[in-house]
Chain A
Amino acid sequence: MDYLVRFAQLHETFRRPELEACATLAGVDIEIITYNEYSPYCVVRLPDEGAARAVAKRSILVKDIFELWGEGTNYEELHADVHRRTQHRWKDYNTVPFKFTIDYFAGTRSLVQKGEIIRSFSYMAFKGPISLTNPDEEFFVMEEYIDDVEVSALGVSRTEAPRKIYFTRKIADSCREDVLKYDLKKRRYISTTSMDAELSLITANMALAAPGKLFFDPFVGTGSFIIAASHFGALTLGSDIDGRSFRGKESGKLGIFENFDQYGIKSKFVDTFTSDLTNTPLRRTGVLDGIVCDPPYGVREGLRVLGNRRGKPAVNVIIDGIPAYLRPGFVPPKKPYGFEALQNDVLEFAVRSLVPNGRLSMWMPTTNDEKIEFPVPMHQNLEIVSISVQHFNTWARRLITYRRLPEGELSDITLARKNIDDQGTRADDLNAFRRVHMLRGHGTRVEKDQKTTQ
């Protein structure tokens, strides 16, 4: 059966991978028949209505899903296709309370025109009462026009008439409204680097968070990702090199746990602990179903690991007869670390600690400057499932999703760059992203923005 997915018209490069992840979660095969990043309408093939419902129910970027009754580039074609596909089914709907809606993308119709369009479907002979508030069945005419964004991006010209018209029967809504529930503005415990609710939920979907699974974020911060994974039913663990980030300032309260409490998912919270990914206490064995993270970039937050900044440490610092590191309040020294080295460490860690087919969904920043490229990190035991990009003014970030290959399977990593940038003492020596982003010699990006506004 063919179904029409109506997407939200944003985060375009995330939409297909998320839809596919939702199908994997629902355990159904999905075939994407037509997809256009400049349109919210996407036609897919799914086994049945139950599958369509299950896929939509898990998606954040899908708004709703419909059964496709016909499509065409004009109304003549559309009506012919509706006859061909569904004539034998019209009688099943001829007494139910129903509603007709005209939906359009990048176009509009007057009330009179809408009435004409609706009446042109009178051959289906639906005699049921028209119910605008509580219909049993909702039918949609969807008109797709060419949007201004596409005009400017591809240089195509706008047309008066719609480019494509669909006629559909509504099946189900997605879970997109959950984005509002997790809005950062209403969350009890957040910080400057908390990931927004929508992208956190999408990240959890890409990594296939689900009941019964165990998820982990090694850079947990205020817990945006593990909260999203727990929303979808996974039990979650988090760690951070700076324990203050998940504890918060209020004594006797664990900041991150306040969030789990707020959303009624306390039972999904396992633990947080203070640790460094490069010296992780986790056992070297497959215990995790998913890893979701946004590693530090070394711009807004420090990119540091355990160790002494300059060479060998002074081992025998003894204060009042007690080695310094055993005294209460001891803070272990940390040193700046390489941007690409850390990403490779995340991959190594994922290979060791994910179960076969477990997923890693990791964010990494990059620049919009095509001359300076930050390659996608690769590992032979990880298959790249998808790469999505969110663009900002001067930089962009990618969400890369990997699958842990079962033993005996290897992925092709001949294109990978093994960049060793863990040598050096200062953040700028180590971090190519930071060098580009901070525009050396021009102050930081923030300072530059302030200068231009003054």
Chain B
Amino acid sequence: MKVITANFVTCAVKDCKTSPASFPLHFNDAELEQQELDFQPEFIRNILPRIDWDALRTISNELGFPSLPESKPEGEALDNEQTLKDLHRLLLETHVTEGKLTCGNCGHSYMIKEGIANFLLPSHLV
């Protein structure tokens, strides 16, 4: 599971959706892998406005990456190729191959195995 995907998912339990504590889900025991991909600046520019920056900073810290700037790069900052490359590397080229994602609201954990997260819920949480 890539870092960008972690920015788009929250707890699958319906009651958690309205609680701020359910997002972002927190990584535990995460094993990381880097995968080199073609640089796609156009995508980063388009997707950045939809990224929750605070959540990205939290996740980036939990995964042990150097701190991201406090505010989201916008406007002219996006003309800087290095900024885009760094974001591309973090969002698309970094993925968690094994580990858990835990909801800060209900405490339920979702397993990640071989890079695939499983968000299916046991019936008492549906």
Contact = CB atoms under 8 A, between A and B. Distances in A.
B46 interface: yes
Provide the main secondary structure of the chain B interface: mixed
Given A279-B14, A282-B9, A332-B122, A270 B4 contact: yes
A259 interface: no
A315 B43 CA distance: 44
Provide the main secondary structure of the chain A interface: loop
A421 interface: no
B126 A279 contact: yes
A112 to B, nearest CB: 55
A247 B116 contact: yes
Contacts of A281: 9-12, 110, 117, 119
A332 B120 contact: yes
Contacts of A330: 122
A243 B119 CA distance: 10
A243 B110 CA distance: 14
A195 interface: no
Interface string A390-431: 000000000000000000000000000000000000000000
B28 interface: no
Contacts of A26: none
Contacts of A284: 17
Interface residues of B, number: 37
A316 to B, nearest CB: 9
Interface in A248-291: 252, 254, 266-267, 270-276, 279-287
Contacts of B117: 271, 273-274, 281
A272 B8 contact: no
A282 B43 contact: no
A4 interface: no
Nearest to B44: A212
A47 interface: no
Interface string B1-40: 1101100111111100100000100000000000001101
Contact of B40 (A235, A241, A273): A235
Interface stretch (A123-131, A134-142, A167-175, A306-314): A306-314
B126 A283 contact: no
Contact of B123 (A243, A271, A313): A313
B118 A243 contact: yes
Given A237-B5, A271-B2, A281-B9, A266 B37 contact: yes
Interface in A208-266: 211-214, 235, 237, 239, 241, 243, 247, 252, 254, 266
B42 A211 contact: yes
Interface string B74-88: 000000000000000
B114 to A, nearest CB: 7
Contacts of B119: 239, 273-276, 279-281
A-B pairs, 6 with minimum CB distance: A325-B122, A313-B123, A275-B119, A212-B42, A267-B38, A281-B9
14 contacts: A211-B40, A212-B42, A239-B119, A243-B116, A254-B115, A270-B2, A272-B116, A273-B1, A274-B116, A274-B118, A275-B120, A279-B120, A279-B126, A283-B10
